[in-house]
Amino acid sequence: MILLQVQHLEDGMGLGGKRAIITGSNSGIGLGVAEALAAAGAEVVLNSFTDRAEDHELAAELGARHGVAARYIAADMSKGAECRALVEKAGGCDILVNNAGIQFVSPIEEFPVDKWDAILAINLTSAFHTIAAALPGMRAKGWGRVVNVASAHGLTASPFKSAYIAAKHGVVGLSKTVALEMAGQGITCNAICPGYVLTPLVEAQIPEQMKVHGMDRETVIREVMLLRQPSRQFATVEQIGGTAVYLCSSAADQVTGTTISVDGGWTAL
């Protein structure tokens, strides 16, 4: 293990000896970020709300692939106490990636109240709890990285996604506030704003979007999802992972309280 960590340092990646918690990381972007941080030498703690053998196997395989310690800790990010318990059970962290998120698409008058509450809890309030729990340990070490996975929808809006867009704008505001509170203490906080990335979350939106817009699958992908992404290409989980690694590097020591868009030009429009 020590030899492998030295190797990661020699590779110039420099995250050996750092522990990262990535919420919502048994699939999609979270898993991609965990993979990238592990490849850079970090110990990783994967999370979701399920507690299946396959979740723990996923972490074990990821750790073995990169020669780092890796664990899976189940915690439901819709529940504040579980968010804080995740950080405690992990033994604190040097890198906190708030990534857990869900989506629901509906006109606002018909938007189910339980969906609104769940989206705000998982996509926004969970980050408040995990950050509050993780910061004391980071402050004690004089080093920390908080990376919040927001969205292009943290900077712009689209119809039928009121809860998601409210939550993601909230994540951007929360990131700026934490950055100011931690300024000069070796701790940065930023938000990554991806455009569309083809993950299970996006796959699940396609039928809803087809219904709302009355379009077939290919038309929804071309005319709705990628319409505002000038590259007309999905971003990849590897690109989001690489951005997170950059934010954790010493090159980003003075990058704080800001957003980094990985959106094929969406927010340049």
- Subset of residues 15 to 44 that bind ligand NAD, contact rule: CB under 6 A: 24-30
Residue (1 or 81) nearer to ligand NAD, CB:
81
Region from 72-80, 106-114, 131-139, 183-191 binding ligand NAD, contact rule CB under 6 A: 72-80
Instruction: Considering the candidates 72, 164, 196, 246, report the single residue annotated as catalytic.
Output: 164
Could you tell me which residues come within 8 angstroms of residue 181 by beta carbon, excluding any fewer than 6 positions away? none
Region from 36-44, 54-62, 200-208, 214-222 binding ligand NAD, contact rule CB under 6 A: 200-208
Confirm or reject binding of residue 114 to ligand NAD (CB under 6 A): no
Does 246 qualify as catalytic in the annotation?
Answer: no
- What is the chain written as a DSSP string? -HHHHHHHHHTT---TT-EEEESS-SSHHHHHHHHHHHHTT-EEEEEES---HHHHHHHHHHHHHHTS-EEEEE--TTSHHHHHHHHHHHT--SEEEE---------GGG--HHHHHHHHIIIIIHHHHHHHHHHHHHHHHT-EEEEEE--GGGTS--TT-HHHHHHHHHHHHHHHHHHHHHTTTTEEEEEEEE--B-SHHHHHHHHHHHHHHT--HHHIIIIIITTT-TT-S-B-HHHHHHHHHHHHSGGGTT--S-EEEESTTGGG-
Query: Cα(263)–Cα(267) distance, rounded to whole angstroms?
Result: 7
Q: Which residue among 72, 97, 99, 221 contacts ligand NAD (CB under 6 A)?
A: 99
Smallest gap from residue 24 Cβ to ligand NAD (A):
3
Q: Which residue among 43, 55, 76, 94 contacts ligand NAD (CB under 6 A)?
A: 76
Region from 53-61, 131-139, 194-202, 246-254 binding ligand NAD, contact rule CB under 6 A: 194-202
From first CA to last CA, the distance across the chain in angstroms is 47
Residue (17 or 207) nearer to ligand NAD, CB:
207
Residues 90 and 43: beta-carbon distance below 8 Å: no
Smallest gap from residue 23 Cβ to ligand NAD (A):
6
Region from 14-22, 36-44, 139-147, 192-200 binding ligand NAD, contact rule CB under 6 A: 192-200
Q: Which residue among 72, 104, 196, 266 contacts ligand NAD (CB under 6 A)?
A: 196
Residues 189 and 256: beta-carbon distance below 8 Å: yes
Confirm or reject binding of residue 214 to ligand NAD (CB under 6 A): no
Residue (198 or 255) nearer to ligand NAD, CB:
198
Smallest gap from residue 28 Cβ to ligand NAD (A):
2
120-159 footprint of ligand NAD as x/- string (CB under 6 A): --xx-------------------------x-x--------
Confirm or reject binding of residue 101 to ligand NAD (CB under 6 A): yes
Smallest gap from residue 56 Cβ to ligand NAD (A):
14
Catalytic residues: 164
